[in-house]
């Protein structure tokens, strides 16, 4: 059975649930990667400072290509020699359907990109924003649906991943 990182299911408090801010999600990713890779806190603080500066310059939202590039760059900064993750795939769910049929197809498509590598990282972002776009409120029903979708993605990843590979899934 493939190993999935215990950080994969970490969730954030309700106060941070519906922030439609790309830089907040990048900051969460930075913090999670710092924990996973055991990186220096000074590096994490420097990346956070750069993200704060970019937010003031560019506003809260980034074009999708820039967001993807920033996700890849933050992962590269935390794992420059690809010692921890030999392959990285970012999946921004804000642009995709969360219908179970399409969700499964998208999960399988993303995992296909990781199967040839022994240590893969799948960064899933935008799920909370897809379920609860502003100005809607986060409810118990949305929270239950969120947890069901996270479980579905994890179960599909376990079924698809090769037993000798290590797959880390981060939800930001």
Residue-wise pLDDT for 84-110, tens only, equals 888 889 998 988 888 888 999 999 999
pLDDT at 150: 95
Output 33-40 pairs: Cβ under 8 A, ≥24 positions apart. 33/74, 33/75, 33/78, 33/79, 33/170, 34/78, 35/7, 36/5, 36/7, 36/78, 36/84, 36/168, 36/170, 37/78, 37/79, 37/84, 39/78
Q: Which residue in this structure is represented by tokens 């986060």?
A: 138
Confidence of residue 114 (pLDDT cuts 50, 70, 90): confident
- Selected residue with higher pLDDT from 18 and 152: 152
pLDDT at 123: 93
Q: Is 123 helix (H, G, I), strand (E, B) or coil?
A: strand
Tell me what the mean pLDDT of segment 43-48 comes to.
91
Domain boundaries, the chain: 3-171
pTM for the full predicted model: 0.79
Q: Which residue in this structure is represented by tokens 């215990």?
A: 6
Whether residue 41 has pLDDT greater than 90: no
Range ranked top by mean pLDDT from 71-75, 147-151, 166-170? 147-151
Specify whether the CB–CB gap between 62 and 22 falls below 8 A: yes
Tell me what the mean pLDDT of segment 26-54 comes to.
88
Tell me what the mean pLDDT of segment 62-84 comes to.
86
Other CB atoms within 10 A of residue 7 CB: 14
Confidence of residue 143 (pLDDT cuts 50, 70, 90): very high
Other CB atoms within 10 A of residue 26 CB: 24
Tell me what the mean pLDDT of segment 74-87 comes to.
87
Alpha carbons 18 and 21: distance in angstroms, whole number: 9
Whether residue 121 has pLDDT greater than 70: yes
List residues bridging with 171 in a β-sheet: 124
pLDDT at 42: 87
Whether residue 142 has pLDDT greater than 70: yes
């Amino acid at each position: 059975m493939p190993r999935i990182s215990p950080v994969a299911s970490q969730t954030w408090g309700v106060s941070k649930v519906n922030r439609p801010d790309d830089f907040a999600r990048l900051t969460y990713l930075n913090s999670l990667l710092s924990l996973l890779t055991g990186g220096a806190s000074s590096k994490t603080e420097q990346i956070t400072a750069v993200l704060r500066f970019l937010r003031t310059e560019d506003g809260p939202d980034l074009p999708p290509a820039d967001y993807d590039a920033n996700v890849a760059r933050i992962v590269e900064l935390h794992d420059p020699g690809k010692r921890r993750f030999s392959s990285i795939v970012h999946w921004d769910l804000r642009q995709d359907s969360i219908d179970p049929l399409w969700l499964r197809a998208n999960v399988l498509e993303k995992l296909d990109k990781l199967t040839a590598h022994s240590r893969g990282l799948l960064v899933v972002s935008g799920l909370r924003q897809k379920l609860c776009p502003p100005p809607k409120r986060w409810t118990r029903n949305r929270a239950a649906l969120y947890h069901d979708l996270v479980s579905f993605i994890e179960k599909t990843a376990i079924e698809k991943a090769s037993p000798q590979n290590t797959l880390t899934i981060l939800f930001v």
